[in-house]
């Protein structure tokens, strides 16, 4: 196993070696060649020999790395001072300083990591101390210096020099690395292009990774939209001939003809984010996000009445609304995609203690129909065309649900007489209580006198008597004059169909759902 790694865990040994300074006149040599120490780092089938010199320089030979650095003697820099961000040894590669060997310290535990060129993979090997000492003695600083000079003279170390053409080619390769994925999900390949003339060499080397990731992000954003099945995003990609990226711009995206202009600052400036493709103007009247919202929405109709299923973005769940003439009652998020379920308390089921919605709308875009189901009843509606859908969504105004009151408590006696309490919605304070008493279908509202609520329970006083509910014991008590009648508390959630369909309290009242009319 090679030691090309994000992180290669290495065992090292060192011997401090002294020597008299020796000056040479060769441009490839060192001002002084005073050896401070020799180090040997060993991994699985690979090794790094380091001769550290006075003045913060070093010679480093790498073998067994399975990279182009194999067998090369590099002139490196020892970064172990207080200001060093990454302690270790760095060398020039393509004119850019890369940390190849890093020291990681956690308390008394010290590890050496070989990062290599691509920062991938790792290896580990333990050697006995005696074996390490025997090997490190073979490291010859003079021979290492001569090999460095020979390789430099032969051009074997030319890869250390900065070549702008190589960097631009590498950037182009990285920026367009997601082209196959874009084609798979969006159906077309549109390469990213950058005008490099405005970017100097210093910026190119310092922000290499940021530059490539900044322009690559437009491909990943488009691919994500297509992966969610957004037809406007797919159509956009197929219509493009080029994507022009400016990695040193601000935060903007615009469409000019068949070219997408994408600006994304890559230096990590605070407050600067990647452009939001959903804000891209496809036309003066519509953004990509609005087009996606319309394409992902459906409108079912019969006469003036509309059932609207809409969402704001590809990450948002659909919401249902129902109404006519531009005014719709919002019923919140829908569940299950095959038949979009919405909440109607008259049409729910309880299975294994779980409350299940039994009202939904199924859309068949091929047949251009909708099937509304309210319990056992079914009704076929017409699916609106794109023009009617766009007009409906543009003019729609959404209001809160007409469910202004919600069930609070339900009890009954042994004779079958029910005692039901509802209250106002939380948005209205939730403290307006009403009490109803009677048999199924004959419930009568009682005139309220007072309400008492504490840790022991609740007491609802009416003109006819007092209803006391002890919620923690699931018990109730009806007190009228000298009469005291024990009650059994009935779970509200499990009995919503009973409350809304059989007790008679809400008969004839509209709840604002499609089941009101169909």
Model confidence pLDDT, tens digit, residues 269-313: 444 467 889 889 998 888 898 888 888 889 999 999 999 988 766
Give the range among 227-231, 310-314, 498-502 with minimum mean pLDDT.
Answer: 310-314
Model confidence pLDDT, tens digit, residues 93-111: 888 888 888 887 877 777 7
For residue 464, pLDDT over 70 is answered with yes
Whether the Cβ atoms of residue 125 and residue 43 lie closer than 8 Å to each other: yes
For residue 399, pLDDT over 80 is answered with yes
Whether the Cβ atoms of residue 393 and residue 294 lie closer than 8 Å to each other: yes
DSSP-derived secondary structure letter, 322:
E
Q: What is the pLDDT of residue 131?
A: 65
For residue 347, pLDDT over 70 is answered with yes
Q: What is the pLDDT of residue 130?
A: 64
Closest Cα to residue 264, out of 325, 194, 318? 194
Model confidence pLDDT, tens digit, residues 22-69: 444 455 667 778 999 888 887 766 788 899 999 889 999 988 877 888
Q: What is the pLDDT of residue 185?
A: 94
DSSP-derived secondary structure letter, 388:
H
Confidence grade of residue 239 (pLDDT, cut at 50, 70, 90): very high
For residue 457, pLDDT over 70 is answered with yes
3-state secondary structure 247-290: CCCCEEEEEECCEEEEEECCCCCCCCCCCCHHHCEEECCEEHHH
Rounded distance between C-alpha atoms, residue 230 and residue 314, angstroms: 7
What's the pTM?
0.64
Residue 394 tokens, joined: 């543009």
What share of the chain in percent tops pLDDT 70? 87
Rounded distance between C-alpha atoms, residue 75 and residue 57, angstroms: 7
Q: How many CB atoms lie within 10 A of CB 170?
A: 13
| Partners of residue 409 on adjacent β-strands | 421
Confidence grade of residue 201 (pLDDT, cut at 50, 70, 90): confident
- Mean pLDDT of the residues in the chain: 83
For residue 265, pLDDT over 60 is answered with yes
Q: How many CB atoms lie within 10 A of CB 319?
A: 19
Strands 9-16 and 35-43: antiparallel
Q: What is the pLDDT of residue 271?
A: 43
Decide: helix, strand or coil at residue 44: coil
Confidence grade of residue 118 (pLDDT, cut at 50, 70, 90): low
Whether the Cβ atoms of residue 171 and residue 194 lie closer than 8 Å to each other: yes
Q: Where are the beta strands (DSSP E) in 294-427?
A: 298-302, 305-310, 319-324, 327-333, 340-341, 348-351, 354-357, 359-364, 369-374, 377-383, 397-399, 405-412, 418-424
- Angstrom distances, CA of residue 140 to CA of 17, 97, 370, 414: 11, 26, 83, 101
Confidence grade of residue 4 (pLDDT, cut at 50, 70, 90): very low
Q: Say how far residue 85 (Cα) sits from the centre of its chain.
A: 30
For residue 9, pLDDT over 70 is answered with no
Alpha-carbon torsion 163, 166, 167, 169, what sign? Answer: positive
Whether the Cβ atoms of residue 383 and residue 299 lie closer than 8 Å to each other: yes
Averaged pLDDT, 428-450: 90
Rounded distance between C-alpha atoms, residue 51 and residue 144, angstroms: 8
Rounded distance between C-alpha atoms, residue 264 and residue 456, angstroms: 61
Averaged pLDDT, 392-417: 88
Which parts of 344-444 fold into alpha helices (H)?
386-395
Whether the Cβ atoms of residue 372 and residue 299 lie closer than 8 Å to each other: no
Give 205 or 272, the one with higher predicted confidence.
205
Rounded distance between C-alpha atoms, residue 467 and residue 487, angstroms: 9
Strands 359-364 and 397-399: unpaired
């Amino acid at each position: 196993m090679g030691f090309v790694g994000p992180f290669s865990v290495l065992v090292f040994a060192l011997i401090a070696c002294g020597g008299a300074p020796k000056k040479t006149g060769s441009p490839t040599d060192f001002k002084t060649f005073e050896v401070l120490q020799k180090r040997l780092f060993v991994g699985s089938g690979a090794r790094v020999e380091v001769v550290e010199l006075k003045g913060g320089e070093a010679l480093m030979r790498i073998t067994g790395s399975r990279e182009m650095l194999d067998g090369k003697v590099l002139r490196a820099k020892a970064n172990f001072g207080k200001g060093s961000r990454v302690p270790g040894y760095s060398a020039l590669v393509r004119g850019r300083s890369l940390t190849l060997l890093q020291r990681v310290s956690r308390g008394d535990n010290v590890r050496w990591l070989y990062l290599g060129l691509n920062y991938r993979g790792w290896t580990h090997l333990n050697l006995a101390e005696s074996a390490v000492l025997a090997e490190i003695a073979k490291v010859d600083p003079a021979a290492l210096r001569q090999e460095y000079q020979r390789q430099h003279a032969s051009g074997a170390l030319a890869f250390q020099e900065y070549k702008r053409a190589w960097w631009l080619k590498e950037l182009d390769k990285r920026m367009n690395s997601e082209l196959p994925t874009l084609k798979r999900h969006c159906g077309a390949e549109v390469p990213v292009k950058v005008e490099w003339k405005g970017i100097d060499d210093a910026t190119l080397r310092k922000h290499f990774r940021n530059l490539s990731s900044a322009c690559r992000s437009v491909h990943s954003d488009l691919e994500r939209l297509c992966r969610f099945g957004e037809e406007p995003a797919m159509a956009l990609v197929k219509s493009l001939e080029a994507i022009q990226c400016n990695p040193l711009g601000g935060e903007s995206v615009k469409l000019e003809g068949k070219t997408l202009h994408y600006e994304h600052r890559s230096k990590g400036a605070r407050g600067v984010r990647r452009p939001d493709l959903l804000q891209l103007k496809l036309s003066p009247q519509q953004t990509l996000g609005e087009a996606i919202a319309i394409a992902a929405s459906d409108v079912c109709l019969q006469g003036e009445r509309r059932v609207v299923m809409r969402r704001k973005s590809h990450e948002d769940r659909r919401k249902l609304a129902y109404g006519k003439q531009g005014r719709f009652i919002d019923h919140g998020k829908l569940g299950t995609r095959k038949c979009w379920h919405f909440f109607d308390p008259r049409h729910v089921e309880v299975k294994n203690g779980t409350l299940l919605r039994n009202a939904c709308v199924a859309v068949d875009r091929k047949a251009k129909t909708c099937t509304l189901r309210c319990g056992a009843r079914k009704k076929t509606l017409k699916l609106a065309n794109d023009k009617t859908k766009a007009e409906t969504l543009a003019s729609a105004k959404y209001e809160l649900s007409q469910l202004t009151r919600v069930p609070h408590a339900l009890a009954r006696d042994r004779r079958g007489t029910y005692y039901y309490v509802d209250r106002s919605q939380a948005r209205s304070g939730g403290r307006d209580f009403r009490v109803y008493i009677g048999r199924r279908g004959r419930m009568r509202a009682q005139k309220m006198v007072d309400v008492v609520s504490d840790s022991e329970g609740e007491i609802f006083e009416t003109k006819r008597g007092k209803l006391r509910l002890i919620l923690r014991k699931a018990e109730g008590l009806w007190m009228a004059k000298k009469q005291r009648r024990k009650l059994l508390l009935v779970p509200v959630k499990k009995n919503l169909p009973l409350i809304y369909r059989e007790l008679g309290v809400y008969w004839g009242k509209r709840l604002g759902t499609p089941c009101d009319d169909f």
